[in-house]
Amino acid sequence: MTAPAKVSINLGTHPDGSPVALDLEELLATRLLVQGNSGSGKSHLLRRLLEQSAPWVQQVVIDPEGDFVTLAERYGHVVVDTQRGEADLQRIAARVRQHRVSVVLNLEELDAEQQMRATAAFLGGLFDADRDFWYPLLLVVDEAQIFAPMAAGEVSDEARKVSLGAMTNLMSRGRKRGLAGVIATQRLAKLAKNVAAEASNFLMGRTFLDIDMARAADLLGLERRQAEMFRDLKSGRFVALGPALARRPLTVHIGPVETAPRSTSPKLMPLPQMGSAENAQELIFTPGANEDRLFAPRRPPPVASTADVLAQLARSVPSTQALETASDSAPQPASVPTPAPAPTLSPEQRQAAIDSALREILDQSDAGFRTIAVLYQDFLVRCRIRRITGEPLSLAAFRRRLAVAHAGIDLAEAEADDSPWGEVLTLAGALPEDMQGTFLTVARAAFDRRICPSDAEVAQAFGSRSPGRARRLLAYMEERQVIVCRLDGLGRRIIAIPGLAWETEPGDPNAPAAARTPEATSAD
């Protein structure tokens, strides 16, 4: 089946009864932001969009509440449960792109932080797919403020950074990879601005808070006095604007849907007639006949193994492949060749491949100034390129290996029973994780009897451009008794490692770094 020159879907109707169409190919190139308070019809809108576009384009739904799993029965979406490791989710996501299967990532069994980590891993697998599999894909993220929060909440900073980075990649760099982001949120004020700003199409529903109305008006190009209109919108009605929708703001009443969510809005019902207070007390204080069965401890539903899900993805074929490519894409092959199985590596070969990937990362000029989450994603991509089999390094293990490699320490030699580096690694473990690499760099300089690193060089090792921060780091390490600093008669600094006969040669603490950037600052 050959894709038509233009594919439009019927989103709903204008107040005058005329249909409102959404240009699907334009949407794939320009992305969409949906906003609406609870009860505004936001999920109904997403379901309408997914149902109408299902025959034309592959779909992935990030579903934090499990509302969209009902798409599986009618439209053939594969439901991916998330009670599995992040590495498994990345592999499943890669197969999703390879076989062009529509899926729903069901996150309802996870808490907020686990949802963020699972989504980041899955989006990373979609984003890092081979170029041969960059087919058009509509990626819908419900409750996007969970995965791209405006400010830190109760989750860890690490989980927030990984999730926010994945969402930013989706909205800012996903288009070239065929990923068309559709993000929906209840609160614009809670959604990271750099994620929301990448959308060019908007559907704004009912909202009551002034800050959300003001942001919605700004995105639509309306005056502040016109923002009051969002309070008056009825459920299921949205203001549409964007190249895929309309060149001027217009109101659209979202059309009906063919599937239903598992949860529905509560409806008022009359209370049962008790007869008397004694009858009511008897009902709640007297055990029932089937209570042992009804109130037995809940067991989570069985989760399909990763192998079973991958096999299901490989067997599944989308019902229609009408939209083969976006209008400006090159023709794609009719069939996708199955990649050859990854070669089996010996433990020594696997270790050498991991070390090579770490060295490549460290050889990049900006590696010291990138966050650990970004470096970890880069490392996972390089491992996939090298086809390194087995369970990948965890984030904590990667951080430790990167710190050791950055200091130029051979890990196998350091972990030997008679190696003095074992004591140094123990000292490093007493420091916060982000300081361990800096300490090992200083320890390596002391072991080699090199000139003492200057403040600028210590700051570089930490990933900063502030010598003032370097001085605070050294003072903190000295307080923790992992280093000893002293000055010679000429004011040059010497750093020694307590318990070992290691110390640096005297060095000027104010000397510039060997490769400092022009924008380096003097102190903070």
Within 10 angstroms of residue 524's Cβ, the number of other Cβ atoms is 11
At residue 229, φ and ψ (nearest 5 deg) are -60, -25
- Is 283 inside any structural domain? no
- Is 3 inside any structural domain? no
**Residue 131, domain CATH:** 3.40.50.300
Who has greater pLDDT, 357 or 18?
A: 18
Distances 168 to 82, 303, 381 between C-alpha atoms, Å: 22, 30, 17
- Is 280 inside any structural domain? no
| Range name among 202-206, 297-301, 374-378, 483-487 with the lowest pLDDT average | 297-301
Structural domains of the chain, count: 3
* Residue 168 shares a structural domain with residue 233: yes
- Is 331 inside any structural domain? no
* Residue 201 shares a structural domain with residue 79: yes
Q: In this predicted structure, what is the pLDDT of residue 328?
A: 46
* Residue 237 shares a structural domain with residue 368: no
pLDDT band at 412 (very low <50, low <70, confident <90, very high): low
Cα distance between residue 29 and residue 201, in whole Å: 10
- Is 486 inside any structural domain? yes
Cα distance between residue 149 and residue 191, in whole Å: 5
**CA angle at residue 53 from 47 to 59, to 5 degrees?**
80
423-458 pLDDT per residue, tens: 888 888 788 877 888 888 898 889 889 999 999 888
- Is 369 inside any structural domain? yes
pLDDT band at 516 (very low <50, low <70, confident <90, very high): very low
SS3 481: coil
* Residue 358 shares a structural domain with residue 440: no
132-189 pLDDT per residue, tens: 888 899 999 998 988 998 877 778 888 888 899 999 989 888 888 889 999 999 888 7
* Residue 102 shares a structural domain with residue 238: yes
In order, the DSSP letters of 77-138 are PEEEE--S-HHHHHHHHHHHHHHT--EEEE-TTS-HHHHHHHHHHHHHHHHT--GGG---EE
pLDDT at 320 over 50: no
Using alpha carbons, select from 29, 74, 13, 34 the residue that is nearest to residue 174.
Answer: 29
Alpha helix ranges (H) inside 393-516: 395-406, 411-414, 421-429, 433-447, 455-462, 467-479
pLDDT band at 122 (very low <50, low <70, confident <90, very high): very high
* Residue 186 shares a structural domain with residue 38: yes
The model's pTM is: 0.54
Domain that holds residue 251: 8-257+304-315
Only one residue has tokens 């594969």, namely 78
Query: What average pLDDT is seen over the chain?
Result: 79
* Residue 133 shares a structural domain with residue 179: yes
Q: In this predicted structure, what is the pLDDT of residue 38?
A: 81
**Residue 490, domain CATH:** 1.10.10.10
* Residue 91 shares a structural domain with residue 187: yes
pLDDT at 316 over 60: no
Cα atoms found within 13 Å of the Cα of residue 98, Cβ hemisphere only: 19
* Residue 356 shares a structural domain with residue 487: no
* Residue 69 shares a structural domain with residue 214: yes
pLDDT band at 329 (very low <50, low <70, confident <90, very high): very low
Contact 372, 437 (CB under 8 A): no
Percentage, residues of the chain above pLDDT 90: 20
Using alpha carbons, select from 508, 513, 506, 512 the residue that is nearest to residue 449.
Answer: 506
324-346 average pLDDT score: 51
36-71 pLDDT per residue, tens: 888 888 889 999 999 999 989 999 999 998 889 999
- Is 278 inside any structural domain? no
* Residue 49 shares a structural domain with residue 152: yes
258-295 pLDDT per residue, tens: 988 866 566 677 877 766 666 777 777 777 766 665 55
- Is 288 inside any structural domain? no
pLDDT at 469 over 60: yes
Q: Which amino acid is at 71?
A: L
* Residue 490 shares a structural domain with residue 381: no
Q: Where is the domain boundary, 370, 390, 406?
A: 406
